[in-house]
Structure 1
Amino acid sequence: EFIGKEALVEQKTNGVSKRVIGIELSDRAIPRHGYKILHEGEEVGEVTTGYHTISTDKSVCMALVDARYAKLGTELEVQIRKKTFHGVVVKKRFYDKHYKK
């Protein structure tokens, strides 16, 4: 879902700053739009889009989270249906330059 400038301004005025991050999951589960992002059981954001990359053979997603959890290397969980899957904040460039078909 697209977040317009008005929504970003509103989030900042409410004292909550959010950032778009990339998350790489350690499992093959595919996160989808709207799934919760958790940190130590607390909801800190939600998935905006997710998929399985061909070039790296990993499940990844983009998510909108509280800025406190946006640092590279931060460990988060993605709630997919009734299970949670371990993930790590990574750069939003989800491909391997050396990918060969």
Structure 2
Amino acid sequence: MDLQYLPFSKINFDDVFFDSLKEDYREIGAWFEKKSKSGDRAYVFFGSDDEIDGFLYLKMESGTVDDISPLLPNGSHLKIGTFKINAHGTKLGERFIKKSSTTC
């Protein structure tokens, strides 16, 4: 079991892990390709069978965040762009959240 920080271009978007995201978000294929071309990276967790069991995309944004309440003031903010895990009684979700909090 391994958590890796990989370029989108090295992540297998055909993995069954992404099937539910493809069903729920029609535009995810174009988004994933755009991220691949721009060199963006994401945290990917591989289970013991080398299948993807978790995915976390983080990005830094600057400015005021006004689409939430309370507003976040002008500054730098870490955004969780996409986060999905296959829950199976481990603390995988907690591990990803801890990783995001240490990335700031």
Give the TM-score band, short-chain normalised: under 0.3
Q: TM-score w.r.t. structure 1 length? A: 0.27
Which structure has more relative contact order (CA 8 Å, sep 6+)? It is 1
Structure with greater strand share of residues: 1
Larger Rg: 2
Structure with greater helix share of residues: 2
